[in-house]
Chains A and B, each alone.
Chain A
Amino acid sequence: MEVEVTPWTIFVGLWVYFVVMVFIPACFGIGMGGRKIYISVLSRLFEFGRSGTTTAGYKSPLATPTTEKDLNFPPTTLQRRDSTTLVRNRSFNSFRRQFHLVDVCEFASNAVESIIDDEVTKGFSAEQVANWNLLWRTKGYHFISWRLTCVYLLGVVVRYFILLPMRLICISASLTWLVLVMFVFSVLPQFRYRRAIENWSTTVAHRLFCRGLTAEIRYHDKQNAALPGGVCVANHTSPIDVVVLSSEVPYSLVGQRHGGAMGMLQNALCMAQNHVWFERSLVNDRAAVGKRLRDHLSDKRNNPILIFPEGTCINNTKVYQFKKGSFELNAPIYPVAIKYDPQFADAFWNSSKEGIETYLFRLLTSWALVADVWYLDPTEIRENESGADFSLRVKRNICQKGGLVEIGYDGMIKREMRKDMIDQAKDSISKTYRTRILGPHK
């Protein structure tokens, strides 16, 4: 078969390729295996790079945390050479004992550690990558060899001139599909399988978006996925979390109404699906928010709600305090842990440092987006358990599953050092000490 190679045929060829290799698999949620091969090739490439480099960048002056963990001080260093190392919480016998003058040392050592190595700021700066992943943005590596530089430059060409255009096509296809679907359904009358088809369509859109990011997501324990009438909670790293999770299960999103592009997207999504968007002013009205969520949950035709209880994006190495609101809705909770592999892309969106467009561009020029998603066992609030304790329990499970560090206070503390947050954090540290000295009853 003679086919003339003209720009038109190339264009058509690309579209055919796209529909067959990307769109149709996305409709059925199956992978063609291409991404898996790509990821393993990349891993081998990084090994190659690793053999030549030494880490010459900024490293924390601390070797390992030294202060006792029983005062619940947040750990101060994040040198994670292998992902299975967790900071161990030494549990001391909390029997009553007397105050000793030497007790001040614990506080002092921890204070000095925090001067040398700031935990909360580190929580908001991108996770250090132990070995160079051939991206300039992973800073701190000096020139090592010509061989490595050549590979790096080749990588730049591949990422910006081959991958980027392909991905842009995919992403725009995904968004076009989404808008189309929303529009179609907004004018269609209600019919029997309408919800199911709506959900399927948006799932396809999310899958397409994921493919556009060359996302290789491994979902574990899918049998625990959220059901209607339930609340799914997860640790938050970026808006992409929503896309990643929605590729498997249709959710109703909860959040503030934004302006600009995000606002338009929110409105588009609302055309066919039921999401819960709040006006800025209402966000602090806990009663009103609670009522709307409960109403949504009680209608079993609605999708399960997806909430990120941290309230803000964190750098995917630790989890800050969960806001207890979502745990007081009298609904089953479906916890999810998401862990991105920093080797392939830095998924963390630092909203105070970069806008969403810059962030997306960065993701689109990264190697890939590799992540693990664990669906934990569904759980409900126990009798005599407060919302706060319940949120703590769920957070602990998520941290353990995802290999993330637990932090006892509000993540917003770095964005704005509000007096009430500071007092609360201070008190949580004092409380542990107080219990040790004076006994648990006070």
Chain B
Amino acid sequence: MGSHPSRHLDNEVVATLVSETGFSRKQIQRLHCRFSSLDKDKLGCLKRSDLEHISELHINPLGVRIIDAFFPGDRTELSFPDFVHVLAVFRPGQEHGSTDSRNGSVSDASSSAVNSREKKLEFVFSMYDVNNDGVISKNELSKIFQMMVGVNVTTEQLEYVLELTLEEAAADDAGDITFEKFKTVMKTSAVEEKLSIRFFS
């Protein structure tokens, strides 16, 4: 996908994105509008600082982790297609009946779809897995939980909550949660609904 950032939106790019992500043409155009307005230096790609400038994101306790999701590893520039791909995970799943009749060729029901339950669970897992090693360690869990509840929490409360969670997830002796175990714990949770955004169509 475009290794050189482009400021204008090619029809070809739009068509590819439509088929890859399931967004409609209109949605992609609107997202591009937003992408351009975030691109303060007009480089055709976003930097971390562009996202950090969004106040709403800045005051979100997990804002940093979301920015990490857009800039995994060493990546410093975010192209528009990559931007859309990350957002595509948040498209509502099949159960909510996407009203967009001009769907791409992606079948929402298949587990390979960008916004399938599996993909959403992967995203949630990656929110916890800070060092990206495929397991959620007790440390990582503690860190994320602390980010969510803020600073006014005693060590006892913290320990209590963590122990319960690890037990529920049947973590191994090291206190690590693998993706498989994670999926099992999340079996009853409505991830499709909670990790969804109704994009304007």
Contact = CB atoms under 8 A, between A and B. Distances in A.
Contacts of A115: 38, 51, 54, 57, 66, 87
Contacts of A76: 56
Most buried by B among A104, A121, A430, A433: A104
A58 B196 CA distance: 22
A60 B200 contact: yes
Interface string A83-113: 0000000000000001111111111111111
A101 B197 contact: no
B62 A104 contact: yes
Contacts of B196: 66, 109
A99 B199 CA distance: 28
A204 to B, nearest CB: 43
Contacts of B149: 430, 433-434, 437-438
Nearest to B201: A63
A104 B66 CA distance: 11
Grouping DSSP codes into helix (H, G, I), strand (E, B) and loop, the A interface class, with mixed when no group exceeds half, is helix
A118 B191 CA distance: 24
A108 B127 contact: yes
Most buried by B among A66, A108, A113, A442: A108
B174 interface: no
Contacts of B161: 98-99, 437
Nearest to A114: B56
B165 interface: yes
B57 A109 contact: no
A112 B128 contact: no
Interface stretch (B12-20, B110-118, B182-190): B182-190
B179 interface: no
A106 B194 contact: yes
A427 interface: yes
Nearest to B162: A99
Nearest to A73: B60
Nearest to A421: B59
B201 to A, nearest CB: 7
Contacts of A101: 124, 128, 165, 169, 182, 185-186, 189
A417 B58 CA distance: 9
Contacts of B157: 438, 442
B197 A414 contact: no
Contacts of B1: none
B115 to A, nearest CB: 12
A116 interface: yes
A58 B29 CA distance: 10
B71 interface: no
Nearest to A57: B33
A139 interface: no
A58 B56 contact: no
A120 interface: yes
Interface in B157-185: 157, 161, 164-165, 169, 182, 185
Interface string A116-130: 111111000000000
A120 B55 contact: yes
Given A107-B62, A109-B197, A111-B62, A100 B189 contact: yes
B194 A105 contact: yes
A409 interface: yes
B30 A107 contact: no
Interface in A346-380: none
A425 interface: yes
Contacts of A110: 60
A35 interface: no
A117 B34 CA distance: 8
27 contacts: A59-B30, A60-B200, A61-B27, A62-B198, A63-B201, A66-B197, A76-B56, A101-B128, A101-B169, A102-B190, A102-B191, A103-B148, A104-B127, A104-B128, A105-B124, A108-B62, A111-B60, A114-B54, A115-B38, A115-B66, A116-B87, A117-B34, A118-B54, A119-B56, A121-B55, A430-B149, A430-B151
Given A108-B124, A431-B150, 9 more contacts: A61-B200, A62-B198, A114-B57, A115-B57, A417-B55, A433-B149, A438-B149, A442-B152, A442-B153
Interface of A: 58-64, 66, 73-74, 76, 98-121, 409, 413-414, 417, 422, 425-427, 429-431, 433-434, 437-438, 442
Top 8 nearest A-B pairs (CB, nearest first) are A430-B150, A114-B56, A105-B194, A425-B59, A102-B189, A111-B66, A107-B62, A120-B55
